[in-house]
Structure 1
Amino acid sequence: MTTDVRTRTKGRVDAYFGISEHGSTVKRELMAGTITFLAMSYVLAVNPRILGDGPAGDLHDKGMPIQAVFTATAVAAIFGTLVMGLWARYPVALAPGMGLNAFFAYTVVLHMGIPWQEALSGTFLSGVVFFVLAVTKVREKIIEAIPLQMKLAVGAGIGMFVAFLGLKSAGIVVSDPATLVHLGNFHHGTTLLAMFGLVVTVVFLVLGWHGAVLYGILATAVVGIACGLVKMPDSVAALPHGLDQTFGQAIVHLPHAFTGQMAIVVLTMLFVDFFDASGTLIGVAKQAGLLTESGRLDRAGQALAADSIGTAAGAIIGTSSTTAYVESTAGVSAGGRTGLTAVATAGWFLIAMFFFPLFAVFADVSAVTAPALIVVGVLMARSLGEIDWNRLEFAVPAFITVVMMPLTYSIANGIAMGLLFYPVVMVAKRRVREVHPIMWVLMAVFLSYFWFLAK
């Protein structure tokens, strides 16, 4: 009797996800989900570090409570990944995105001075607008409006910015009144620990280990504990809590989100999330062989809508924009082809929720998580190689986009400056007809941003 029930259940799961149809098995899908989790679970340590104050006070007491961010990160990952797996049925996992969390913390909260509660409202609005775009044909028009070269530049620029944050947190790069930045002091124990973490993480990555970033964090923490630079956790596991501090704040503070300053915030979040999700979904689907013969993505509307729902729900829960993770390719390389892979990943995030004391140790010491940021920045900056540097009409706005993000400590500034220059160089090149009307609108918006709102 029990065997018959299991067989029927397995058959229903197979039929719903199309496991056999895609040449996979339940066992392979579950293993792929595990590998995806290992590849992206570093977000549970890094996201609380970025959004929260931590002992270093990076956000000068403006940050979010770390335990609440940890729980919100896990819950947002679980919810978003389940929506992607069960509705869109793609082997893609979601979690608060690197770069988007840095924009939230360092540009919106720290630089613009917007309270994190209102920043969550902006994140929620960006998710709602994203959803509208995803379920309508407007998404195709938006994708066509932004030149590929600018999309590549934005991704690479965010990578440079994230890497710069990591170098700064590690103490490898420090401020200098004469030259703005300077090489850090390698006699400091935490700086040496971060260098060790960077070396081992890079080695793991080059060796092709799935979960290289997580293993690097673990190795760095162990060495830090042995050297007395990282404190031992009081316990390994605990019941998750803390959401009472963040849950619903995005809705409560929504009336404060309808300002000119927040319009730039929402637009930037939407821009980055929309194109990051689109690129990731297409990249993962291509590797998994899930694109149609014409190169299109089946159920693209559902997949993008799942991403937008994850962002809106994550904001209500209490974290920055939730997006599709490129680390999902790790699970795909292990054979994952259906939404069951995503469901399995969500299951591991559920288990991880109970290990806050362990992840808190990682978040408490910047030297432990800084190498992860640097390596993630390297991976994101790979799109630099796809930019056509031989054509100045592409190279100039792309370069300005990339370089302005770390140098102005703002993703929004980089995007705005790049989109200002693109129409200018195209006009100078007498290719004005190739500039989409939406680009002129964005140019006007960002001109207003620099004139009235930039600080």
Structure 2
Amino acid sequence: MLEKIFKLKEHGTSVRTEIVAGVTTFMTMAYILAVNPSVLSDAGMDPTAILLATCIATFIGTACMALTANLPFAVSSGMGLNAFFAYTIVQLGGYSWQTALLAVFAEGVIFIIFSLTGVREAIFNCIPLMLKHSVSVGIGLFICFIGLQNSGLSADADTLVSLIDFKEHFHTAGICALLALIGTVGMAVLYIRKVPGSILIGIFGTWALGIICELTGIYTPDADAGYQTLIPTFTATDFSKLGETFGKCFETDLNEVGIVNFIVIVCSFMFVDLFDTIGSLIGVSAKAGVLDENGRLPAIKPALMADAAATTAGAVLGTSTTTTFVESASGVGAGGKTGLTSMTTAVLFLLSMFFAPIFIAIPSFATAPALILVGFLMFSSVGELKFSEENYTQVIPAYLCIIAMPLFYSISEGIALGVISYVVINLTCGKRKEIKPVMYVLAVLFIIKYIFL
């Protein structure tokens, strides 16, 4: 049956190789089960509900990827996209998480239509390559900055931010920040040495060090200051918690939000997700050797459909936008070539629901190193930017896009600044032919946003 579904012999692989590859992919991206509840709970959502929604949405998207596209790629709630949801839309924008979920649902439905009609690929092809890379780089810096804040390493100061004074409140904030720093270095070493599951191992290792510090009295819980005990209580997963987010996206009153505001939110999600998903697909596809002679992915339509379906289902369940995970490359590196790899990963995520209390109990200083390292992985696209005079009209907008995201604490502001500056700079420098029509439309939309919102 597996041969018939996944065509293993045709792809020169075996059941054992595919399952091992699927486990490898799971190990490298399972950190999302600790990080996603940590990030989205900052939007006021229940952590257990977020984890359950993440597991189910991941299973749906990754299983669809396996059965329709027969590709070894996994789909889950995207890093950067969850930060955009929690910190830009909810915290800075002042919108409810229910409104943000409805925007994610709308984005998913639109992307299903776009994927069926080929519009999604066409939009992607119109956006300048350097601007695509800059979005990944900027999101990497933004995620890293969030990690530094969650760890406590970045503290408020007269210079806006500064390194924490480890000696002040050492038994709470100081030791947590120190453990996060140790965890980041340790995680980086594991990753460099190509240890499978290095990010997940780093998270649990940092947490374990924290537990040791609590048992020896180095870390002292202070509930009033927000420092809870690090020792987990092993209880059964409360599946009823899913009811706190399931279907809540449909409880949004658009009259209170404003239809124009809502459209802007949806467009922002779409724009960020567009780069993240297509970029990950192309990158992992190149590593897997499944691109054709023109550099295109033959199975891109069902792959995009799987991603869009997971986003739509995830919004109903209660999680942020899903995307194809670049960590899928680890499974490909382990020999994965077909959908059996991704189906293995999907099943493992579904089983992870029964261990929800463990993932939820992981402290933010233990997940912060994962944010910092994933930020580095996304930042690595900076090497694709060509800093030469003949490319200044391309690379300056890319630079503005990158630097705006962490400094303005907003992914959407970085994208807007990048698009607007690209159109203006190329127009005034006599390179009108470089600008595709869709870029004019996007620039005008962002300008209208700044004028009226």
- TM category (shorter chain) comes to over 0.9
Cross-structure match for 2:185: 199
Show the counterpart of 1:39. Answer: 28
Matched, 1:387 2:373: no
Counterpart AA for 1:225: I
Cα distance in structure 1, aligned partners of 2:364 and 2:270? 29
The amino acid across from 1:195 in the alignment is L
Q: Are the counterparts in 2 of residues 121 and 254 from structure 1 also a CA contact under 8 Å?
A: no
Letter aligned with residue 99 of structure 1: G
Q: Deviations over 1:309-364 (max 9, x none)?
A: 111111011000011000000000011001111110011111211111211221xx
- Aligned equivalent of 2:319: 319
The AA in structure 2 aligned to 1:389 is F
Deviation for aligned residue 1:255: 4.2
SS in 2 for 1:95: strand
Q: Structure 1, residues 209-258: CA drift from partner, whole Å, max 9, x if none?
A: 12111000010010000101452111165354411001111233274576
Provide the secondary structure at the position in 1 that maps to 2:76. strand
Which SS does the other structure have where 2:336 is aligned?
A: coil
Question: Which residue does 2:349 correspond to in 1?
Answer: 349
> 2: distance between equivalents of 1:330 and 1:137?
29
Bigger mean CA deviation after superposition, 31-40 or 222-231: 222-231
Partner of 1:25: 14
Q: Which sections of structure 2, spanning at least 5 residues, go unmatched?
A: 168-173, 220-228
The secondary structure found in structure 1 opposite 2:294 is coil
For 1:14-93, list aligned pairs within 5 A. 14-53=3-42, 62-93=43-74
Matched, 1:416 2:397: no
User: Contact 1:121/1:251 (CA < 8 Å) preserved in 2?
Assistant: yes
Q: How does 1:284-433 map to 2 (within 5 A)?
A: 284-362=284-362, 365-390=363-388, 391-433=391-433
| CA–CA separation in structure 2 for the residues paired with 1:410 and 1:172 | 20
1:185 aligns with 2:165: yes
- Aligned partner letter, 1:302: P
Shift of 1:141: 2.3
Mapped partners of 1:413, 1:207: distance in 2: 36
Kindly report which structure 2 residues correspond to 1:161-180, keeping only aligned pairs within 5 A, or say none. 161-176=142-157, 178-180=158-160
Alignment partners' CA distance in 2, 1:213 and 1:237:
25
**Residues 1:154 and 2:135 are matched in the alignment:** yes
Which residue identity lines up with residue 251 of structure 1 in the other structure? F
Cα shift at 1:422? 0.1
8 A Cα contact 1:239 1:354, kept in partner: no
Query: What is the identity percentage for the equivalent residue pairs of Structure 1 and Structure 2?
Result: 43
Give, as a single letter, the amino acid of the residue that structure 2 aligns with 1:35.
T
Per-residue displacement from partner, 1:400-453 (whole Å, max 9, x unpaired)?
A: 100111111110101001111001111122110221111111111111112222
Distance in 1, matches of 2:293 and 2:392, equals: 34
The answer to whether the 8 Å contact 2:272/2:412 transfers is no
TM-score using structure 2 length: 0.92
Structure 2 CA distance, aligned partners of 1:186 and 1:103?
30
Tell me the secondary structure at the aligned position of residue 298 of structure 1.
Answer: coil
Partner of 2:118: 137
Q: Which amino acid aligns with 2:384?
A: E
Q: Is the 8 A contact 1:77 1:96 kept in 2?
A: yes
Query: Superposition pairs for residues 183-332 of structure 1, below 5 Å?
Result: 183-187=163-167, 188-228=174-214, 229=219, 230-235=229-234, 237-238=236-237, 240-253=239-252, 255=254, 259-332=259-332
- Contact 2:18/2:336 (8 A) holds in 1: yes
- Write the distance in 1 (CA, Å) between the matches of 2:66 and 2:298: 14
The alignment partner of 1:290 has SS state of coil
Report the equivalent of 2:91. 110
Distance in 1, matches of 2:245 and 2:138, equals 30
Q: Secondary structure at the match of 1:20?
A: coil
CA contact (8 A) 1:120 1:319 kept: yes
Report the residue type matching 1:377 in the other structure.
G
8 Å contact from structure 1 (residues 67, 241) kept in 2? no
Per-residue CA deviations over 1:60-111 (Å, capped at 9, x if unaligned) read xx51111111111111111111111111211100110000000000000000
Amino acid at match of 2:377: L
| Structure 1 residue 191, shift from structure 2 partner | 0.7
Contact 2:146/2:371, CA 8 A, preserved across alignment: yes
- Whole-Å Cα distance in 1 between the matches of residues 152 and 325 of structure 2? 28
Letter paired with 2:385: I
Residue number in structure 1 paired with 2:222: none
For the aligned residue pairs, the C-alpha RMSD in angstroms reads: 1.4
TM-aligned CA deviation for residue 380 of structure 1: 0.4
Offset at residue 264 of structure 1 (A): 2.0
Query: Could you tell me which amino acid in structure 2 is paired with residue 44 of structure 1?
Result: L
Distance 1:206 1:139 in 2: 35
Equivalent-residue separation in structure 1 for 2:400 and 2:235 (angstroms): 46
Output the CA distance in 2 between the equivalents of 1:409 and 1:63.
Answer: 19
For 1:95, the equivalent position in structure 2 comes to 76
State the AA in 1 paired with 2:200: L
Residue 199 of structure 1 and its aligned partner are, at CA, apart by 1.1
In the aligned structure 2, how far is the partner of 1:432 from the partner of 1:259? 33
Deviating runs (4+, > 3 A) in structure 1?
236-241, 254-258
Contact 1:45 1:360 in 2 (8 A): yes
C-alpha distance in 2 between matches for 1:247 and 1:167: 31
Q: Distance in 1 between matches of 2:307 and 2:121?
A: 16
Residue equivalent to 2:171: none
SS in 2 for 1:210: coil
TM-score by length of 1: 0.92
Task: Tell me the CA shift for residue 388 of structure 1.
Answer: 1.5
CA distance in 1, matches of 2:286, 2:55: 27
